[in-house]
Amino acid sequence: MRIKRVLIDFFSLVSLCMWTASCTLPTATQKHPSQKPLAQVETGRYLVKAGDCVSCHTLKGGKPFAGGVALNTPFGVIYSPNITPDKTTGIGKWSGDDFYNAMHLGKDNKGKHLYPIFPYPWFTKVSRSDSNAIKAYLDTLTPVHQQNKPNKLKWPLTWRISVAAWNLLYFTPGNFKPDPKHSLQWNRGAYLVKGFGHCGECHTPKNMLGATRKGNKRFTGGAVGNYWFAPSLSDNLRLGIGNWSVPEIVRYLKTGSNDKSDLAGPMTEVVMNSTRYLSNPDLNAIAVYLKNMPQKQLVTVTKTSKPDLTTLHRGHSLYMFNCAGCHMDNGAGVPHFFPPLRGSSAVQTKDPETVIHVVLMGASLPPPMSTPAGIAMPSFAQKLNNRQITDVVNYIRNAWGNRAPLVRTETVSAIRKSLK
Ligand code: HEC
Ligand code: HEC
Ligand code: HEC
């Protein structure tokens, strides 16, 4: 009986190790100069990438992890704090418990509520040992003495206690529970997507109070920041990534582009600072999970009226003159050079903000991800007026069998204004 127990324990440990990156073998006795076990520090360094902590905690041109990044929310500006091990302005005095409480419960070392723009509603799933590894890594950083900036929020949100009410409505602390019906690989993917990756924070619609929708609304696409839209990650063939293969998803997350789409906007930081550093097994696990999400995502396909013929005609002329040289007459693009617009989920999104942004501002993959040819999508802000952009966007969203709700000139003009 005992042997059987021991064997079961051994195998559950082994399988656990395979989906949490945190399993350090007891023989790993090498020490980092900070006196933390080297393997733990290295695991932490990797997980900090998986959680994309840099995008929010490192100011462009600033010291790593010293905070001060202004994060715009519909409720005001929140500045990210200093998470270097400085004893007075950073988290140098925090214990492992304090740190875990932040990740798991969304509370700081004094028990005060943190605002949910810090993705604790997702990080709550992070295991205690992975949380310890991150803390061990952060402890090895050079302490930066830099005071946190005060937030610019509207009352009553200045009262942190208001977050308690929000938590009561929308937040349940929880641990990641592997689903035995699925493979280890799928479970590892679920842990990364729903925990560290907080992919759903952008790719899910939010309610008035900024909480992401649950159930079958998860991953059906959502608005991000100032006029961007993160497409559905569901298996819908037109709006989601239903026609992307596992290797295609992996390539997008590793390099920022594949034969179906090229990234732009807020996804750029995600790939630059996070996913391109993930191991191939982890990227494959993410892709396998995304292709086999547990519940059917309910993608509401808005009934759309086709653009009238005159609009389509105007759009077609603009397209042939300005775009067809690269994206081809039939919208098929050129593999490795120009993404296809025909059949593209990025083009047919429910809300058109990202497409409009790309046509107005242009887009390119930042180095070192840029294609060998290094050809970028040019900006049309100077060349086309709001009406023309509306026409050409309505055309690409409804030509060649594409189908998407009509774009209004007001939306284009609002996005153009936001760029100034
Ligand atoms: C989407 C942006 C975002 C990401 C990604 C993010 N954070 Fe934060 N984090 C914040 C903001 C904003 C706050 C401050 C919230 C507040 O003031 O209530 C914060 C607070 C914290 C705190 C509390 C510090 C204190 O002084 O109270 C810790 C610890 C922390 N983050 C660690 C991390 C780690 C580790 C990661 C990556 C695994 C991470 N964060 C990823 C935005 C982010
Ligand atoms: C900060 C917000 C944000 C986060 C976090 C985020 N994404 Fe995205 N994502 C976007 C936006 C915006 C786009 C649209 C980019 C475009 O079309 O050029 C996008 C595009 C994508 C696409 C391409 C979809 C298509 O149809 O073209 C995939 C796949 C994707 N994201 C996967 C992920 C995964 C996996 C994660 C988590 C590891 C993640 N994203 C996290 C904002 C985000
Ligand atoms: C000089 C070549 C060129 C021209 C001309 C051009 N594009 Fe692009 N386009 C690109 C490239 C390259 C990309 C990929 C950008 C990146 O890497 O982020 C792109 C990306 C896009 C995307 C985003 C696709 C995705 O998968 O996220 C859209 C939408 C788009 N172009 C529409 C247009 C429209 C509409 C026009 C004409 C008004 C146009 N393009 C003209 C080269 C071009």
Residue 313 contacts residue 371 (beta carbons within 8 Å): no
Residue with tokens 């903000």: 353
**Per residue in 266-322, pLDDT tens?**
999 999 999 999 999 999 999 999 999 876 666 666 666 778 889 899 999 999 999
pLDDT (average), residues 244-254: 97
Q: Is 119 in the pocket of ligand 1 (CB under 6 A)?
A: yes
pLDDT higher at 117 or 295? 117
CATH class held by domain 309-419: mainly alpha
Confidence at residue 2, expressed as pLDDT on a 0 to 100 scale: 42
Atom number in ligand 2 closest to CA 355: 17
Confidence at residue 187, expressed as pLDDT on a 0 to 100 scale: 98
Confidence at residue 29, expressed as pLDDT on a 0 to 100 scale: 60
Q: Which of these ranges, 96-100, 148-152, 269-273, 299-303, has the smallest mean pLDDT?
A: 299-303
Reported pTM: 0.92
- Give the integer Cα–Cα distance in Å for 389 and 128: 50
Q: Is 121 exposed, middle or buried (0-12, 13-18, 19+ CB in 10 A)?
A: buried
Residue 1 has pLDDT above 70, yes or no: no
Token output for 86 = 């400085």
- Give the integer Cα–Cα distance in Å for 357 and 169: 34
pLDDT (average), residues 173-183: 96
* Closest C-alpha among 294, 304, 285 to residue 186: 285
Q: Is 205 in the pocket of ligand 1 (CB under 6 A)?
A: no
Token output for 363 = 């887009």
Atom number in ligand 3 closest to CA 322: 37
Q: Is 24 in the pocket of ligand 3 (CB under 6 A)?
A: no
Q: What is the phi/psi pair of residue 393, to 5°?
A: -70, -40
What is the phi-psi region of residue 139: left when phi exceeds 0, alpha when psi lies from -120 to 50, beta otherwise?
A: alpha
Residue 222 has pLDDT above 80, yes or no: yes
Confidence at residue 53, expressed as pLDDT on a 0 to 100 scale: 98
Confidence at residue 370, expressed as pLDDT on a 0 to 100 scale: 73
Residue 189 contacts residue 279 (beta carbons within 8 Å): no
Confidence at residue 14, expressed as pLDDT on a 0 to 100 scale: 38
| Residue nearest ligand 2's atom 22 by CA | 231
Confidence at residue 108, expressed as pLDDT on a 0 to 100 scale: 97
* Closest C-alpha among 50, 51, 49, 54 to residue 64: 54
Q: Is 339 in the pocket of ligand 3 (CB under 6 A)?
A: yes
Residue 411 contacts residue 352 (beta carbons within 8 Å): yes
Mean pLDDT of the chain: 90
Residue 117 has pLDDT above 80, yes or no: yes
**Per residue in 14-51, pLDDT tens?**
344 444 444 443 344 678 877 889 999 999 999 999 99
Confidence at residue 320, expressed as pLDDT on a 0 to 100 scale: 98
**Per residue in 48-78, pLDDT tens?**
999 999 999 999 999 999 999 999 988 899 9
- Give the integer Cα–Cα distance in Å for 172 and 168: 8
At 252, the pLDDT band (50, 70, 90 cuts) reads very high
Q: Is 364 in the pocket of ligand 3 (CB under 6 A)?
A: yes
Report the Cα 61 to chain-centroid distance in Å. Answer: 22
Residue type, 135: K
Residue 263 has pLDDT above 50, yes or no: yes
**Per residue in 328-345, pLDDT tens?**
999 999 998 999 999 999
pLDDT (average), residues 354-371: 90
- Give the integer Cα–Cα distance in Å for 285 and 193: 9
CB neighbours of residue 302 within 10 Å? 9
Mutate to test the pocket of ligand 2, among 192, 203, 246, 357 (most ligand atoms within 8 A of CB): 203
Confidence at residue 296, expressed as pLDDT on a 0 to 100 scale: 66
Residue 243 has pLDDT above 60, yes or no: yes
Interval between CA 352 and ligand 3 midpoint (Å): 15
At 126, the pLDDT band (50, 70, 90 cuts) reads very high
Q: Which of these ranges, 88-97, 291-300, 392-401, has the smallest mean pLDDT?
A: 291-300
Q: Is 344 in the pocket of ligand 3 (CB under 6 A)?
A: yes
Q: What percent of the chain has pLDDT over 90?
A: 76
| Residue nearest ligand 3's atom 41 by CA | 323
What is the phi-psi region of residue 362: left when phi exceeds 0, alpha when psi lies from -120 to 50, beta otherwise?
A: left
Q: Is 157 exposed, middle or buried (0-12, 13-18, 19+ CB in 10 A)?
A: middle
- Give the integer Cα–Cα distance in Å for 19 and 196: 13
Q: Angle 209-213-219 (CA atoms, 0-180°, nearest 5)? A: 130
Confidence at residue 36, expressed as pLDDT on a 0 to 100 scale: 82
CATH 1.10.10 is held by the domain 184-291 = no
Break the chain into its structural domains and give their ranges. 29-170, 184-291, 309-419
Confidence at residue 298, expressed as pLDDT on a 0 to 100 scale: 63
User: Can 184-291 and 309-419 be said to share one CATH topology?
Assistant: yes
* Closest C-alpha among 87, 133, 93 to residue 109: 93
- Give the integer Cα–Cα distance in Å for 420 and 410: 16
pLDDT (average), residues 402-418: 95
Q: What percent of the chain has pLDDT over 70?
A: 90
pLDDT (average), residues 348-358: 95
Q: Angle 159-161-165 (CA atoms, 0-180°, nearest 5)? A: 125
